[in-house]
Structure 1
Amino acid sequence: MMSAKLWAPALTACALATSIALVGCSKDPKQAQQGAAAQKMPPTEVGVIVAQPQSIEQTVELSGRTSAYQISEVRPQTSGVILKRLFTEGSFVREGQPLYEIDAGINRANADSAKAALARQQANLNALQVKANRYRQLIGINAVSKQEYDDLAAQVKLAEADVAASQAALKSAQIDLGYSTVRSPISGQSGRSTVTAGALVTANQANALVTIQQLDPIYVDINQSSTELLRLRQQLSQGSIDRSNNTKVRLKLEDGTNYPVEGNLAFSDASVNPDTGTITLRAVFSNPNHLLLPGMFANAQIVQGIIPNAILVPQAAITRTPTGQAMAMIVNAKGAVEPRPVTTSGAQGQNWIITQGLQTGDKIIVDGIAKVKPEQQVVTKPYQPAAAPQDQPTTGTKQANAAQPAPEAKMPEQKSTSHA
């Protein structure tokens, strides 16, 4: 009986060890199955957009400066002393408005002298014409010789020429007299006057009395590289863009705001500046409130034409090969990733303008493009752009509120430490 009791614990231990070994052996196949299941991951989920061709404006943004539509440097056309200034500096003046009054004493005297000379010549002509009429009657009865009549007719012709010369001299004197009042040749904004009453001025002097600038409309001079111009002309010749309408220009001011009125491209220089390699373009803008002043810096966005059947793709969806080729990742009909070379033609905001390589209905991967590779099976979902910036403060507030209990929990410990 004692020997049976001694063998019982040994048999129990052996049975337990055997069961543990069996259990351990039974777990190995399950772990292998779990590992195989772990290796077979579900398809990656990616956000896609569907290619939809549309007509897109091709724009280019260039820097430029404003310049006045018309500039007139007013100079005197007669000599004399300035008697008074007839306008307010910086005010708007109309075409023909008097600006300065020059002492007209000498010019008035010259005009009077020319008028008297004309009267004398006209009187001489009248006397000769009366005598010629009398000789014409006498020659019919041979009372005077034909030679005498011919000499008198020649004197009448000379007197008529003298009258014409006197009339021209009087007109010139009257013009000089009119120049005694200096008038604005154009309508525009007046600048600072360089002379005051009492100043002596001379005809056609080098220094302008005042400068008048027409600011409505106003020009914006823009510099475009010759390379961009050549590319644009090639696209026009190939028919890849349409430029049937007038070229529109949008303007961004120095402070970053957009000018509310669109302008039109009015002029393109015929030569390239050899120093900068650029061509000057000139756009004209309406400027009724004189918000634009000459010399201001501005960024001009020029609508060069309309690209038909182009596709807008977010810039995050386009990658570049080492050779610079633009590539897009497409999800084909089998749900697999397919690389597709594309051709870009500039950018519009945060999107590339794609002109070749994509077809209507193609699913272009935008979100998750870094996690996929060619021929990989994926699951698609509509691409959702990132949250708008105005949502960020709300998120930040929630995070701050969530973080507030932590400092409050530590406050009693800090107080108890200070009391200790």
Structure 2
Amino acid sequence: MTKDTEIIMTYLKSILSACLLVLLLGMSAEAQITEKAEFGKFAITNATIHTVTNGVVENGTVLINGEKITEVGTNINIPSGYKQIDGSGKHVYPGFIDAGTQLGLQEIGAVAVTNDQAELGDFNPHVRAFTAINPSSVNIPVTRVNGVTNVISMPVSGRLAGKGTLIDLYGYSPDSMAVKPNAAIHLNWPTSKKGGWWDDRSDKEVEKEYKEDLKKLDDFISRAQFYEKMMTDFQNNPDNKEQPDKDKKMQAMREVVQGEVPVIISVDAKSDILDVIEWTKNYPEMQFILAGVRDGWRVADEIAEAGLPCLVSTLYTPERDYDNYQRPYQNPGKLHAAGVKVAIATGGVENVRNAPYHAGFAANYGLGQQEALKAITINAAEIFGVEDKLGSIEAGKQANLFIADGDPFEPMNHITDVFIRGNKIPMVSRHIQLYEQYLDRGAKTN
């Protein structure tokens, strides 16, 4: 093949990729929501209200005025102008929070131009998921009609992948969706284990690379600490005439080394978790959160003693062939029993809608119903410092909640209404539209 032919083929491939993208986006647009959300004053009456922080209110009322919950309780006088929703026989829950996803950053895994969750390079603290969120993602309506109203969406590539954002799953722009634009920075911990049977490195090579990776990480944080001190000294000294040169990566690390933005550390293996615990002791001024921790049940006491919260899932296969199949389901309960604060994090995109079932498995395998409910609501809110806004049904908090006819951890449960920031969301998604389209297909009527 000549060079000219290669150029032509490359050009044609680009055109075909662009055409495919337009077609896919067109298909997504066709399956998107056509209804508008309602906004105003609502009164949910005669319902069982699961406040999470203040018990269960039977035959209760929730008043929503604009973006806020204004009253919760029984025998509440409903002012004029409120649209009433009869919750008889139904349950009201706080909106669920998935504490670790790529929702809004990735659309179609096989189409590179629809993926914005990864960047080149190992250290990208300046990368912000907030700026890349796609409010029109077809995965968002699919997720929120299942009761998930908020997610942490974060970059995933490299060693220090970038900063994740906490968003509402309703809005027309990242600004209108953001609850906390810079919620945490994501660190992928280097593993001291081989990658699998295909990894032909010797044990010495594995250990050498692991130590080299840790040294690079420590050096990067050391530079960030020096940069932070230099900039703080400059800002606090009005006699300084010359400002130090700015570095965008180091600038982005300032709020991290100051402890204002926590570090989510993705780590799974027992030995790596223990290494992380020791490593975090070197940086007492910084905040740390563990994510994944599939071997967490093996070292739950050590994690609890270190005071590190954990973001966990349950729908995965055991880490070792000889592990009992129940271990993934039991992991959250064993961590909680040791004194660890746990929150649910699916780590997914299109399957973030399954977050309630992650919590459901945890509830039935040791965590318990009430603690599982906390793990997907108030615990996540507290871990990320937004418990004054989200995570429970209380007067003054943001009106993120949903109404269900049963247990939201059960797949047969039916969610009838979802509110996000006081907006009554259309209960429509691509899944629902396809379900209705193909329901009774081919059936003939007289």
TM-score bucket (shorter structure): under 0.3
TM-score, reference length from structure 2? 0.17
TM-score, reference length from structure 1? 0.18
Structure with larger Rg: 1
Q: Give the structure, 1 or 2, with the largest relative contact order (CA under 8 Å, sep 6 or more).
A: 1
Which has a greater percent of strand?
1
